[in-house]
Chains A and B, each alone.
Chain A
Amino acid sequence: MKKRIYSVLVENRAGVLGKVVGLFSRRCFNIDSLVVGETEDPSVSRMTIVSSGDERTIEQIEKQLNKKLDVIKVKTFHEKQCFNRELLLIKVKYNKNNRRDIMEICESMKAEIVDVSKHYMLIELCDTPERINAFMTLFASISIVEVARTGTVALSMCKENED
């Protein structure tokens, strides 16, 4: 299984997300994460889709995406060919015994505590999906209340534009 990041420019129209997702489910392609947002041109949205499969599948994903008439452009990346980021929000229940530990973990991972109440803390971390996974494992012994992750967004590295 190989991991690929598909950066897909699509027409910003009703129903386009459904068509793209439908394509993945109809052809049994995986979706690890999918993020959609408007670009500098309001008529165009960018979808960043992380998927995995064998050689044939990852080629088919690009070809089938290109076949969709609402898709303007597809770029396929290895993880190393692009700069990728994900945002994590994590809410934990703390007590006086682990409060210090949590703050130290956050400091070492450059996470930010963005909201605190008497028993709860809300932490934000923007990093690569791998570092976010690592961050989460550090909370294994702490009681996690809720987690929200955005999924990966990515753009190609600058040197790709120079070529």
Chain B
Amino acid sequence: MNGADAIIKCLEAEKVDVVFGYPGVAICPFYNSILESDIRTILIRTEQNAAHAASGVSRLTGRPGVCAVTSGPGATNVITGIATAFADSIPLICITGQVDSSLLGSDVFQEADITGAVESFVKYSYLVKDVNDIPRIFKEAFHIANTGRKGPVLIDVPIDVQNAQIKQFKYPETISMRTYKPTVKGNAAQIKKVARELAKAKKPIICAGGGVILSEAEDELRMFAEKHGIPVVSTMMGIGSMPTRHPLYFGMVGNNGKAYANRAMNESDLLIMVGARVADRAVSQPDLITRDKVLVHIDVDPAEIGKNAGPTIPLVGDADNIFLDLMKEDFNCEAEELVETLNGYRDTMEKKRTPNPEFVDPAAFITRLSEKMQDNGVYVADVGQNQIWSCGYHVVKNGKFMTSGGMGTMGYSIPAAMGAKVAAPDRQVIAVCGDGSFQMSMMELATMQQHNVPVKIVVLKNNYLGMVRQYQHFTYKDNYSVVDLSGSPDLEKLSAAYGIDFLRLYDMEKCDEVIDAFLKEDKSMILECIIDPMDLV
């Protein structure tokens, strides 16, 4: 058994079903060995998307998605995907081929110092120098990626290590790392303190971040909120932690969120921030969430607590453990009046849009689409105006909402949706992008067809990089610079070229009919919606 065979054995031991990647000489031993395995391989069309697709797998299964690419440009291309996963704490295992160990550092063909290059975007990285370390390294890597604050782990394997004979293959059952013991259980005294403060609070509110979803604490959050009648708002990454139309849910906060969600958060007297980084787009003025209120900050990563806003009560641990512990505390919370007030805010503060009837209204379209989706459907929003409309108007029932929140990586939706569909073939998976973000990943239409991954794609077409155009509209008084997307392909012809069914929607008149046709069968489909180029989020 050689190193490459051993890597495959490790992936099998971790119950990996699929590897997304792109071969090159330095990773060929790996791709040769994988032929002997039942692990599915999917040839992505550019390496960045291998990491995005693995991210889609991870977000659906709760286990690290895996991608494998070659050395040099293969490895450097995957960096954006790794950084995207890192920003959103998505667990990934990224295997890179590397040149022969004896040539490391000599700048030979397709050599790149990938472990050095990704240092600030990975939770950890390994350069494997001894074939006999492979089982331990893979065991550690999967553990590191998927525990504590989750994140990507990169394993760089020189070609001679992949080819070397391993003395004995034994996948370790346990891990011994003296440097890594994440705190997952909340401190009992701090939990009691939170309960005491909640009993005193008149206007408590929970702001749920992506950490709630990563720790699979959606049910615990909902049960806790329902038990005490505490309203919930969310960050962008926290969308889907509560059903959108739950009576206690009041939307996304932040400068692109709902005005009433921000008001609810800022006016609270006790704010439980859970699994959220308190970054600038969600909380542009951290002093507003600390002034005149008790701020409870729950996070599995102690470094996040107090980084952007000083909490009154820091609470380190995994969100689901902490909600379960909080539910054991006996206290009463009086928030009925608050919920009434917030309902009033929502009724009066919901943004009034004045859509142009000549075009599809993206807000109304997204709401209709999500209402018609299967209850457990997966909705992947790309980046740009489409993302903000998706966050504002998509209705999560019992499904998943995915997007690139922290990094804001355009082109994320199509590969991530592919990953999701591969991981959950029985669920409806829809990617919603703009015509800019679509063109950043449209090469993956071939992957969808080749590997029979029936993803549905909505393209909101306005012939502009809409989000930047909107920014230039406000900041530079319509002095548009490099945002015109003229020259884009005819999507009907492009779809035909790939053998994918195509639909187009010009205005809202046929909206329901077209959405029904779009969702009817479980097959790849592209739906182009012509939207007003001058529309604003």
The chain A residues found within 8 Å of chain B, CB to CB, are 11, 15, 18-19, 22, 26, 56, 59-60, 63-64, 66-72
Q: Which residues of B contact A64 (CB under 8 A)?
A: 303
The reply to whether the CB of B496 lies closer than 8 angstroms to some CB of chain A is no
Q: How far is the CA of A72 from the CA of B119 in the complex (A)?
A: 18
Q: How far is the CA of A92 from the CA of B314 in the complex (A)?
A: 54
CB closest residue in chain B, given A71? B179
CA distance A66 to B181 in the complex (A): 11
Contact yes or no, A69 B307, CB < 8 A: no
Contacts known (A69-B179, A70-B179, A71-B179); A60 close to B120, Cβ less than 8 A = no
B116 touches A69 (CB 8 A): no
A and B contact pairs by CB, cutoff 8 A, 16 listed: A11-B179, A15-B115, A15-B116, A15-B127, A18-B119, A59-B306, A60-B303, A60-B306, A60-B307, A63-B302, A63-B307, A66-B303, A68-B179, A69-B179, A71-B179, A72-B179
Are B303 and A22 in contact (CB-based, < 8 A)?
Answer: no
Given A19-B119, A22-B119, A69 contacting B124 (CB threshold 8 A): yes
Residues of B contacting A71 in the complex (Cβ-Cβ under 8 angstroms):
179
**Which 9 A-B pairs give the minimum distances between C-beta atoms?**
A63-B303, A69-B124, A26-B120, A72-B179, A69-B180, A22-B119, A67-B303, A69-B179, A64-B303
One digit per residue, 1 when the CB lies within 8 angstroms of any chain A CB and 0 when it does not, for chain B 83-127 equals: 000000000000000000000000000000001100110011001
A56 to B290, CA, bound (A): 15
Q: How far is the CA of A63 from the CA of B144 in the complex (A)?
A: 18
Query: Which of chain B's residues have a CB closer than 8 A to the CB of A68?
Result: 179
User: Which B residues between 308 and 365 are near A, CB-CB below 8 angstroms?
Assistant: 310
- Told that A68-B179, A69-B124, A69-B144 touch, could you supply 11 new A-B pairs with CB distance under 8 A? A11-B179, A18-B116, A18-B119, A22-B119, A22-B120, A26-B120, A56-B310, A59-B306, A66-B303, A69-B177, A69-B179
Per the bound structure, the CA–CA distance linking A18 and B118 in Å amounts to 12
A34 CB, nearest partner CB in chain B, Å: 17
Q: Does B220 contact A (CB under 8 A)?
A: no
In the complex the two chains form, what is the Cα distance from A63 to B183 in whole Å?
Answer: 13
Distance of A85 from chain B, by nearest CB (Å): 27
User: Bound complex: CA of A69 vs CA of B182, how far in Å?
Assistant: 11
Which residues on B sit within 8 Å (CB–CB) of A22? 119-120
A68 to B301, CA, bound (A): 12
Q: Complex: how many Å from CA A15 to CA B116?
A: 9
Nearest CB to that of B129 among chain A residues? Answer: A14
Output the nearest chain A residue to B307 by Cβ-Cβ distance. Answer: A60
Partner of A69 from the list B123, B306, B310 (CB cut-off 8 Å) is B123
Cα separation A66 to B304 with both chains bound (whole Å)? 12
Cβ distance A7 to chain B, nearest Cβ, rounded Å: 16
Residues on A with C-beta less than 8 A from B301 are 67
How far apart sit A139 and B303, CA to CA, in the bound complex (Å)? 44
Tell me whether A72 and B178 are in contact in the complex, defined as CB-CB below 8 angstroms, given that A15-B115, A18-B116, A63-B302 are known contacts. yes
B177 proximity list for chain A (CB < 8 A): 69
A18: B residues at CB distance < 8 A: 116, 119
Q: How close is B439's CB to chain A, nearest CB, in angstroms?
A: 32
Shortest CB distance A33–B (Å)? 22
| B180 / chain A contacts, CB cutoff of 8 Å | 69
Specify the chain A residue showing the minimal Cβ separation from B119: A22
Chain A residues with Cβ below 8 Å from B178 are 72
- Give the docked Cα–Cα distance between A66 and B123 (Å): 12
Closest CB of chain A to B77's CB: distance in Å? 22
The CA of A21 and the CA of B110, in the complex, are separated in Å by: 27
Could you tell me if B302 and A66 are in contact, using CB atoms closer than 8 angstroms? Answer: yes
Nearest-CB distance from B28 to chain A (Å)? 26
Chain B residue at minimum C-beta to C-beta distance from A44? B178
B346 to chain A, nearest CB (A): 35
> Which residues of B lie under 8 Å from residue A19 when comparing CB positions?
119
CB distance from B514 to the nearest CB of A (A): 48
Pick the contact of A56: B116, B144, B179, B306 (CB < 8 A).
B306
Of chain B, the residue at the smallest CB distance from A65 is: B303
CB under 8 Å from chain A, chain B span 390-447:
none
